[in-house]
Structure 1
Amino acid sequence: MHPKEEIERLKKLINYHNNLYYNLDNPVLSDTQYDELYKQLKDLEEQYPQYRTKNSPTQRVGGQAGELFSPVKHAVPMMSLDNSYSPDEIREWYERAEKTLQRNDFEMVVEAKIDGVSCSLTYENGILVTAASRGDGKTGEDITANVRTIKNIPQKIENAPAGMLEIRGEVYLEKKDLAALNEKQLLNAENIFANTRNAAAGSLRQKDPQMTAQRSLKFFAHSFGAGDISADSFSGFIDLCRQWGFSICPARTKTTQMSEVIRFYNQFDAARHQLPYDVDGLVVKVNRFEYQRILGVTAKSPRWAIAFKYPAPQATTTVENILFSVGRSGVITPVAELKPVAVGGVTISNATLHNFDEISRLGLRVGDSVIIERAGEVIPKVVKVAEHKGGPDVLPPAACPSCGEGVYKEPDEVGYYCVNPSCPAQLRARLLHFASRGAMDIEGLGEVVMDQLLENKYVADFADIYNLSFLHLLNLENFKDKKAQNLLDSIEASKQKPLSRLLFALGIAFVGAKTAEILADRFRTLDALKDAPLEELQSVREVGEIVSHSIYDFFRSPRALEQIERLRAAGLNFTQPKKELAGNILDGKTLVFTGELKTMSRTEAELLAKEYGGKASGSVSKKTSYVVAGAEPGSKLKKARELGVPVLSEEEFLQLIGKK
């Protein structure tokens, strides 16, 4: 291929993966694979500079400013770092800096590279006014409302320099919080996040800041953006950040010796896995700002810093088979059955292939040798075919692998679905969902037991679970008296679960655990919800047109109505208890919160007011009982004083409800 054509091919391919990574938060290449593509393009452009263009990925940061939020132009471009993966590459970087500075005694700071999302925080006279994503490096997205929910980001900096100050860092999610979030996603029948970075990125792009607030995001300050500060070095800037109340990653060292950098890299490789957050490498920075200015930047990256990354845990194995799994909604998912292989200390024997478009992208066939990756991933994935073995193409099934009925695909979707609502695989998945912890919470009714119940034809729908007898269970493998009685007791106890659990358990399309609770709190009984007209369903907050139609149609299905009556006859609870309030101190009171609170976000304060019987409002009127004012309260405080509405400080509010 002609060099110009190869350069254009690589540019197109890299731009495609940039969009997946930066804008869609859905990368399909490992960092190592991406960097290899980038290096190929960079080397070709250096060899044939006449074919290098301004729009090349080597000349800019990878993302684009998204359209979901307002654009924010960065005062100083937010650049991405060049990557190195070996001691030789990091030494080459050091030697270039040494040559430019004409000295070998310059100090370097080495710190952990957190696998999160870059974020810029702009303060005016110490008050946080704007938070922005990196975007294309010049223009990002305004994510201020969402970033304000991150509890360890100071809303106000004490003793801050006058004027504008920009601090940059990483928004991240801890591993335990990812596990909890994915458990919640599964319970809500929603997609799980592959890793902490994807979860952090998705959380920052929520339209509703309250959703972001529930995600336990955290922030580490790691870079100086712009402003007038007293520090003359990066380490001095980090000391200032500590004084201003920012969290700083503790994994850091300072040295003038490249041998020390490499030693720290090798020692830290094992230690990083014990950290509560994901770390994919180190960042090495020349410490003094004066030297940073001398070294300068390229079109894309600073010359005074570099990422020293750890290769992702990978292994090569063979695809022995491709199976088709049928979920409770009927979607058919291809799964690669692998020759067992150890990856990152875990033995992997299968990996999801997501959909048939992914199989086509990989060019995957049974018998192929493939590279499996598990780098902080919840689900191992096939990242590349190492060697094609000439097997037949993998095609979507013409019939459901479970029931043999037909398969259909919506024109604008990637998924294939089984057309049979009575499909055994769908029934199994629906029954397991019904009994799951977030639904009816029937302890002991897992996959092994459910498979035996289905095989013996003891259950064919939800209501059959409540008709199981002691004798039924004793016929199952490994069941004795005590185990059988424990399961029956758990089934009996599930009858008292609130309506919200039952609604979620029924598996109504688009109704997750949160929506089920909103519906149950609003309608109080299953019959009231069942008989609600479509217009009333559409008026419920957080229930849009698609969800309301799904609920309405479900309760007009003869099969669903028959199932409900059988569950009623079995004695299940069809009501939602009123939530017990922590007290009635604020009963009948309307509160307005304004300004920046010290110990909580305004959303958290409003929820606390509701917990104690009050009502939160967004505007001040004569009917307002109290205005709770934090720092920089604005016009609401002025209006409260004009109307004579009592004004409380945050501390006085907490004292009022007995929290202080």
Structure 2
Amino acid sequence: MHPKEEIERLKKLVNYHNNLYYNLDNPILSDTQYDELYKQLKDLEDQYPQYRTKNSPTQRVGGKAAALFAPVKHAAAMMSLDNSYSPDEIREWYDRTAKTLQREDFEMVVEAKIDGVSCSLTYLDGKLIQAASRGDGKTGEDITANVRTIKNIPHELPGAPAGILEIRGEVYLDKKDLEALNAAQILKAENTFANTRNAAAGSLRQKDPAATAARPLKFFAHSFGAGNITADSFSGFIDQCRTWGFSICPVRTKTTLISEVIRFYNQFESSRHNLPFDVDGLVVKVNRFEYQRILGVTAKSPRWAIAFKYPAPQATTTVNNILFSVGRSGIITPVAELEPVPCAGVIISNATLHNFDEINRLGVRVGDTVIIERAGEVIPKVVKVAEHKGTQEVLPPAECPSCGDPVYKEQDEVGYYCINPSCPAQLRARLLHFASRNAMDIDGLGDVVMDQLLENKYVADFADIYGLTFLHLLNLENFKDKKAQNLLDSIEASKQKPLSKLLFALGIAFVGEKTAEILADRFRTLDALKDAPLTDLQSVREVGEKVSQSIYDFFRSPRALEQIERLRAAGLNFTQPKKELSGNILDGKTLVFTGELKTMTRTEAELLAKEYGGKASGSVSKKTSYVVAGEAAGSKLKKANELGVPVLTEEEFLRLIGKTAN
């Protein structure tokens, strides 16, 4: 047999046994036999490297290290799910869904909610070409090289449709693998991971794919992103995913009764701990894609699905002390210093008390026995006093615990503030926020490095970050040439961040990521925003009176203006790139696509309609604005003609939105 043919035969055989082992949990070879088969393939590829392909199972060990993770725009938004925590809340969701669909017999699929990291896999003509993280839902990071190392992700999909196909799912670690990974981290004197989700996230963001390959990550397919599929329901799609070689969550049921969903939820609560992976609840989805299209989405979540989560883990412990933390805005937050206690897989020694009104509501004092709660990645909080043992009332501090200046409180505000702009605690928090991932994204400028920079008096404001030199960094602990150069490269790259990121990084009171993006898109340049009168700021629909005043006051602060000029001199970008807005030509219009389109799939056409402000539906009614009919259109075209709904050809639809067919 020709070496190329033998390599292809061995590749198919290894992939076949990978599927039996990872996806079907039914291996028919011993580990030794599998290793020998794998070795045959690898040896032959080494002998004839011209026949080795990137989709070979031997290439999952990791390729070239990535210098950075490039942005990837999702074909369709990767949305988050709304959460429910009680039978009453899940019934409310069911009632809303039934009312919209005008029927109660719709089928629901219920499956375990894996506690992992969302990932999108894009295939072209059945071959894996890209993997991306969720990111902000619209834009993620390119993690293709790392995802290729995950052994139960197929590189090729047998029988997949031609063109683009996007499969979404969850990357996770089994609990036993987390224990082994943490044991190895301890031996290397490196930080351990708090839970399986953190471990999966950290593993996916390794710059060297070989490091990711060394960690036993797994993947469950759980949803459809974009492309052309024949299934008309979620369960049909999942069955198709299984035939393509994807692992599917084994915990799943179907029902038309909300009472059955609640019964399943109650039965599964205790048994979920016996699973090899972490589960924090269930996901309930309307099964039929046609009904999903009718239900649509909100700004951030699909209306056709909801997470039915289990109550947050709680633990009982003692309050040893109550400390006061100073944030970047100067707000003083009381924090309970606790007797360390395990909760949700980690040891908790601190919990937030939010503010002094909350302390009064709880009646908490030093020495009390309290119940703490930790949900997912949320900071632990004190939820109740189990037993009052303390005697001394907790009062707000008269002086800032960091700088000693008097504490200030607005009459109608809950919070207490330090208003000293030179307060060391505020400076540290502001600098860390400025460098954080969602702001200027300066990789390597975390807590430990920032503390050293402050201790050495190398930085005292944002602009000082851009004055750091190689020699500055080599004076810091654990810094050598490569690490120093990487940080300097990351600082330099941050100069090109768009205005929206810079606005968020500046830490203007009440200006979060979304508001920063709205302002940047509206005013386009920092100077235009800086010079805008208060009335112009107030005219921005999404920006309220309180936020407008805060922005206006910030840009009239001599200290802020000085900082801006220093950042300008450092070469930072002060502009926002124009978005390729498609307009709202179809605003308020409902479109139904039927038949075979020439230049795009139905899914792509529906996404295009949404891009131009329209809504795509799977059924024709009197409320339908247009039916776009391709070749071999059937019952939907007939119904449109019966109801007098306007019918467009594909070319007419494209002309309507100002495009031409390719």
Normalising by the residue count of structure 1, what TM-score does the alignment of the two structures yield? 0.51
Q: Residues 91-139 of structure 1, C-alpha deviation per residue, up to 9 Å, x if partnerless?
A: xxxxxxxxxxxxxxxxxxxxx977964325569xxxx7846xxxxxxxx
Partner of 2:527: 527
Q: Is the 8 A contact 1:598 1:630 kept in 2?
A: no
Q: Structure 1 residue 119 and structure 2 residue 92: aligned? A: yes
Partner of 2:480: 480
User: Shift of residue 368 of structure 1?
Assistant: 2.6
User: Shift of residue 502 of structure 1?
Assistant: 0.9
Partner of 1:454: 454
User: Shift of residue 464 of structure 1?
Assistant: 0.7
Q: Could you tell me which amino acid in structure 1 is paired with residue 585 of structure 2? A: T
Determine which of 578, 585, 589 is the counterpart of 1:590: 585
**Alpha-carbon distance change, 360 to 183 in structure 1, aligned in 2, over 3 angstroms:** farther
Partner of 2:364: 364
User: Shift of residue 418 of structure 1?
Assistant: 1.1
Partner of 2:256: 241
Q: Residues 615-649 of structure 1, C-alpha deviation per residue, up to 9 Å, x if partnerless?
A: 5489xxxxxxxx999633528569x99xx997548
Q: Could you tell me which amino acid in structure 1 is paired with residue 620 of structure 2? A: A
1:93-492 equivalence runs, <5 A: 117-119=90-92, 130=99, 155=101, 165=104, 241=256, 252=264, 267-271=271-275, 274-275=278-279, 277=281, 313-374=313-374, 378-492=378-492
User: Shift of residue 382 of structure 1?
Assistant: 2.4
CA distance in 1, matches of 2:651, 2:541: 32
**Alpha-carbon distance change, 649 to 113 in structure 1, aligned in 2, over 3 angstroms:** farther
Partner of 2:575: 575
Partner of 2:7: none
Q: Is the 8 A contact 2:439 2:501 kept in 1?
A: yes
Q: Residues 5-57 of structure 1, C-alpha deviation per residue, up to 9 Å, x if partnerless?
A: xxxxxxxxxxxxxxxxxxxxxxxxxxxxxxxxxxxxxxxxxxxxxxxxxxxxx
Q: Could you tell me which amino acid in structure 1 is paired with residue 256 of structure 2? A: C
Q: Residues 366-409 of structure 1, C-alpha deviation per residue, up to 9 Å, x if partnerless?
A: 22333333465723232333443344221111111111111122
Q: Could you tell me which amino acid in structure 1 is paired with residue 520 of structure 2? A: A
Q: Could you tell me which amino acid in structure 1 is paired with residue 444 of structure 2? A: G
Q: Could you tell me which amino acid in structure 2 is paired with residue 554 of structure 1? A: F
Unpaired runs of at least 5, structure 1:
1-111, 132-154, 156-162, 185-219, 221-237, 254-260, 280-308, 619-626
Q: Could you tell me which amino acid in structure 2 is paired with residue 590 of structure 1? A: I
Partner of 1:631: 620
Q: Could you tell me which amino acid in structure 2 is paired with residue 524 of structure 1? A: R
**Alpha-carbon distance change, 461 to 645 in structure 1, aligned in 2, over 3 angstroms:** farther
Q: Is the 8 A contact 2:108 2:256 kept in 1?
A: no
Q: Could you tell me which amino acid in structure 1 is paired with residue 347 of structure 2? A: T
User: Shift of residue 491 of structure 1?
Assistant: 0.7
User: Shift of residue 358 of structure 1?
Assistant: 2.0
Q: Residues 179-199 of structure 1, C-alpha deviation per residue, up to 9 Å, x if partnerless?
A: 999989xxxxxxxxxxxxxxx
User: Shift of residue 533 of structure 1?
Assistant: 2.2
CA distance in 1, matches of 2:433, 2:104: 50
Q: Is the 8 A contact 2:365 2:391 kept in 1?
A: yes
Q: Is the 8 A contact 1:591 1:617 kept in 2?
A: yes
CA distance in 2, matches of 1:610, 1:240: 31
**Alpha-carbon distance change, 652 to 321 in structure 1, aligned in 2, over 3 angstroms:** farther
Partner of 2:507: 507
Q: Is the 8 A contact 1:373 1:380 kept in 2?
A: yes
Partner of 2:171: none
Q: Is the 8 A contact 1:503 1:516 kept in 2?
A: yes
Q: Could you tell me which amino acid in structure 2 is paired with residue 632 of structure 1? A: S
Q: Could you tell me which amino acid in structure 1 is paired with residue 589 of structure 2? A: T
User: Shift of residue 570 of structure 1?
Assistant: 0.6
CA distance in 2, matches of 1:480, 1:404: 37
1:612-651 equivalence runs, <5 A: 616=613, 631-634=620-623, 647-648=647-648
- The secondary structure found in structure 1 opposite 2:578 is coil
Q: Residues 411-451 of structure 1, C-alpha deviation per residue, up to 9 Å, x if partnerless?
A: 33321111212211111111111111111111111111111
CA distance in 2, matches of 1:362, 1:394: 11
CA distance in 2, matches of 1:177, 1:117: 24
Partner of 2:244: none
Q: Could you tell me which amino acid in structure 2 is paired with residue 403 of structure 1? A: C
Q: Is the 8 A contact 2:591 2:626 kept in 1?
A: no
Q: Residues 64-93 of structure 1, C-alpha deviation per residue, up to 9 Å, x if partnerless?
A: xxxxxxxxxxxxxxxxxxxxxxxxxxxxxx
**Alpha-carbon distance change, 413 to 170 in structure 1, aligned in 2, over 3 angstroms:** farther
User: Shift of residue 517 of structure 1?
Assistant: 1.7
- The secondary structure found in structure 2 opposite 1:541 is coil
Q: Residues 247-304 of structure 1, C-alpha deviation per residue, up to 9 Å, x if partnerless?
A: 9859949xxxxxxx98x7754443497336369xxxxxxxxxxxxxxxxxxxxxxxxx
**Alpha-carbon distance change, 422 to 250 in structure 1, aligned in 2, over 3 angstroms:** same
Q: Is the 8 A contact 2:526 2:575 kept in 1?
A: yes
**Alpha-carbon distance change, 609 to 637 in structure 1, aligned in 2, over 3 angstroms:** closer
Q: Residues 174-222 of structure 1, C-alpha deviation per residue, up to 9 Å, x if partnerless?
A: 85689999989xxxxxxxxxxxxxxxxxxxxxxxxxxxxxxxxxxx9xx
1:61-80 equivalence runs, <5 A: none
CA distance in 1, matches of 2:329, 2:522: 26
Q: Could you tell me which amino acid in structure 2 is paired with residue 571 of structure 1? A: G
- The secondary structure found in structure 1 opposite 2:532 is coil
CA distance in 2, matches of 1:595, 1:474: 61
- The secondary structure found in structure 1 opposite 2:92 is strand
User: Shift of residue 605 of structure 1?
Assistant: 8.5
CA distance in 1, matches of 2:318, 2:134: 32
User: Shift of residue 353 of structure 1?
Assistant: 1.0
Normalising by the residue count of structure 2, what TM-score does the alignment of the two structures yield? 0.51
Q: Is the 8 A contact 1:319 1:370 kept in 2?
A: yes
Q: Is the 8 A contact 2:592 2:617 kept in 1?
A: no
CA distance in 2, matches of 1:515, 1:606: 29
CA distance in 2, matches of 1:239, 1:628: 24
CA distance in 1, matches of 2:648, 2:521: 31
CA distance in 2, matches of 1:631, 1:451: 62
Unpaired runs of at least 5, structure 2:
1-84, 120-132, 138-233, 235-252, 284-308, 595-603, 628-639
CA distance in 1, matches of 2:584, 2:374: 53
CA distance in 1, matches of 2:532, 2:645: 40
- The secondary structure found in structure 2 opposite 1:578 is coil
Q: Is the 8 A contact 2:327 2:426 kept in 1?
A: yes
User: Shift of residue 466 of structure 1?
Assistant: 0.6
Q: Is the 8 A contact 1:523 1:529 kept in 2?
A: yes
Q: Is the 8 A contact 2:110 2:282 kept in 1?
A: no
User: Shift of residue 168 of structure 1?
Assistant: 11
CA distance in 1, matches of 2:620, 2:463: 56
- The secondary structure found in structure 2 opposite 1:394 is coil
User: Shift of residue 317 of structure 1?
Assistant: 2.4
Q: Is the 8 A contact 2:281 2:310 kept in 1?
A: no
CA distance in 2, matches of 1:535, 1:336: 43
Aligned residues: 405
User: Shift of residue 463 of structure 1?
Assistant: 0.6
**Alpha-carbon distance change, 645 to 561 in structure 1, aligned in 2, over 3 angstroms:** farther
CA distance in 2, matches of 1:542, 1:410: 25
